[in-house]
């Protein structure tokens, strides 16, 4: 038996797989107002001074609001959890706690039990029943690195193979309910139901007000078409999305002669048209309502509001700049947009192609916290 005195100060999120079995990149699915990816980074940060995100060799991942988390790339091809854990042990040369990126609700109490069991052992992990282990919610000591490396160099990536050659502390749990992973959309829907039924409040500020972003651009650049591309992708990620279209001119959505129109003509300052499927609320204004006020007042229980227009007043803007529309210069200046969607080589830190609605949706999803600040 190898004796270990090291404290566990490093949490590693194993995020090398996109989980396409779910039909979308499951790391970007949203629970309680935050992506699964960022929820788990925040969970690890609540416990460990150092948090790393493990990726496959050559992979990149937009961490958005996660900010300055370390990124550790695998040294072995295959993109397996075993390679991710070995790469982290090789980088830090001290024990690490490894967590699967698709864990729905990581439990702090379970984590503390696993950490407490580690001293005096090569690793510590949950054991359910007599045969099943949970190796992706576990502490791995430096003694694990050599046998892991041997397996990986032989092209073997099954993490359970390393357990037989090491002294593992098994932490007993009656079932695997604390280690629920999102592998399919059915798993995700189950997690959403659990989140909705939970009495826990969302993460700090996660639902204080809806996230807000505006798609801006010059006339005829295709803003509505872009919104038609990105909104379905946001919905796939589990976001409840509202939209606002800015009109610089007066408009009328009710029809003269209709009963509801007559309510307004009679002097009602505001009136609603309600049916089992739709509700329209119409109110008179003395002046234009700011976009932020619209979002707070009418979309309070939404995850994200996507506006079209508001090029000068939106707090967060994505510009659509299309050379194909005959435009020579973008609408916004440097630093005025969080991203640009374009068919040109215009320089920007975050650039998306005209048809990349899915990429833009992921970009927004990992920035919901930032987009809520206005």
Q: 146 and 91 in contact (C-beta within 8 Å)?
A: no
Look over the chain and give the mean of its residue pLDDT values, rounded to a whole number. 90
DSSP string, 41-56: HHHHHTT-SEEEEEE-
pLDDT at 5: 42
Beta bridge partners of 14: 54, 100
Q: Which range (246-255, 308-317, 328-337) has the least confidence?
A: 246-255
**Angle, nearest 10°, between helix axes 223-236 and 357-365?**
60
Q: Check residues 312 and 124 and name the one with the higher pLDDT.
A: 124
The pLDDT of residue 214 = 97
Assign 3-class secondary structure to 256-289.
Answer: CCCHHHHHHHCCCCEEEEECCCCEEEEECCCCCC
Q: Residue 75 has which token pair?
A: 């040294």
SS3 366: coil
Q: Do 4 and 95 meet the contact criterion of CB atoms below 8 Å apart?
A: yes
The H or E element spanning position 193 is: helix 185-197
Average pLDDT over residues 130-151: 94
Domains of the chain: 10-197 (3.90.550.10), 211-371 (3.40.50.300)
What is the Cα–Cα distance from 99 to 14, expressed in whole angstroms?
Answer: 6
pLDDT score for 36: 96
- Give the range with max mean pLDDT: 63-77, 256-270, 296-310: 296-310
Residue with tokens 């003395």: 286
pLDDT in tens, 170-229: 999 998 889 989 989 999 999 999 888 875 555 444 457 999 999 999 988 999 999 999
DSSP state at residue 137 = E
The pLDDT assigned to 145 comes to: 97
The confidence band for 20, taking pLDDT boundaries of 50, 70 and 90, is low
Of the candidates 105, 78, 84, 108, the one whose C-alpha atom is nearest the C-alpha of residue 96 is: 84
| Rounded average pLDDT over 223-237 | 96
Rounded mean pLDDT of 34-55?
Answer: 96
Burial profile 167-203: b = 16 or more Cβ within 10 angstroms, e = fewer: bbbbbebeeeebbbbbeebebbeebbeebeeeeeeeb
Which residues, 6 or more positions from 88, have their beta carbon under 8 angstroms from its beta carbon? 10, 12, 52, 54, 72, 96, 98
Tokens of 291: 């976009």
Q: Is residue 32 pLDDT above 50, yes or no?
A: yes
Q: What percent of the chain has pLDDT over 70?
A: 95
Cα–Cα distance between 212 and 315 in angstroms, integer?
8
pLDDT at 198: 75
The first and second tokens of residue 42, run together, are: 């925040």
Convert the pLDDT of each residue in 261-284 to its tens digit.
Answer: 788 888 888 888 898 998 888 888
pLDDT of residue 21: 64
Is 80 within 8 Å of 100 (Cβ atoms)? Answer: no
């Amino acid at each position: 038996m190898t004796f270990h005195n090291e404290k566990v100060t490093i949490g590693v999120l194993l995020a090398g797989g996109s989980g396409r079995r779910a039909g979308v990149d499951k790391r970007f699915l949203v629970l309680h107002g935050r992506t699964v990816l960022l929820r788990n980074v925040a969970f690890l940060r609540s416990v460990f001074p150092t948090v790393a995100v493990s990726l496959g060799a050559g992979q990149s991942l937009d961490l958005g609001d996660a900010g300055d988390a370390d990124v550790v790339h695998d040294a072995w091809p295959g993109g397996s959890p075993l390679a991710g854990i070995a790469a982290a042990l090789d980088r830090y040369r001290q024990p690490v706690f490894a967590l699967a990126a698709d864990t729905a609700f990581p439990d702090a109490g379970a984590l503390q039990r696993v950490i407490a069991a580690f001293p005096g052992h090569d690793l510590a992990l949950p054991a359910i029943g007599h045969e099943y282990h949970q190796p992706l919610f576990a502490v791995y000591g430096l003694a694990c690195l050599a046998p892991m490396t041997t397996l990986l160099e032989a092209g073997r990536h099954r993490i359970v193979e390393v357990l037989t050659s090491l002294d593992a502390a098994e932490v007993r749990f009656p079932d695997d309910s604390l280690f629920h992973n999102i592998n399919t959309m059915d798993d995700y829907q189950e997690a959403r139901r659990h989140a909705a039924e939970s009495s826990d409040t969302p993460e700090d500020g996660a639902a204080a007000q809806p996230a807000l972003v505006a798609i801006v651009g010059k006339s005829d650049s295709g803003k509505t078409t872009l919104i038609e591309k990105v909104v379905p992708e946001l919905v796939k990620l589990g976001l409840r999305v509202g939209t606002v279209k800015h009109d610089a001119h007066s408009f009328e959505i009710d029809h003269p002669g209709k009963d509801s129109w007559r309510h307004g003509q009679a002097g009602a300052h505001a009136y609603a048209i309600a049916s089992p499927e739709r509700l329209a609320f119409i109110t008179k204004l003395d002046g234009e309502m700011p976009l932020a006020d619209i979002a707070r007042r009418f979309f309070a229980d939404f995850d994200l509001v996507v506006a079209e227009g508001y090029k000068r007043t939106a707090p967060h803007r994505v510009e659509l700049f299309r050379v194909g529309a005959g435009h020579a210069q973008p609408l916004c200046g440097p630093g005025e947009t969080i991203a640009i969607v374009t068919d040109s080589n215009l320089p920007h830190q975050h650039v998306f192609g005209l048809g990349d609605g899915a990429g833009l949706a992921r970009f927004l999803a990992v920035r919901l916290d930032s987009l809520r600040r206005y």
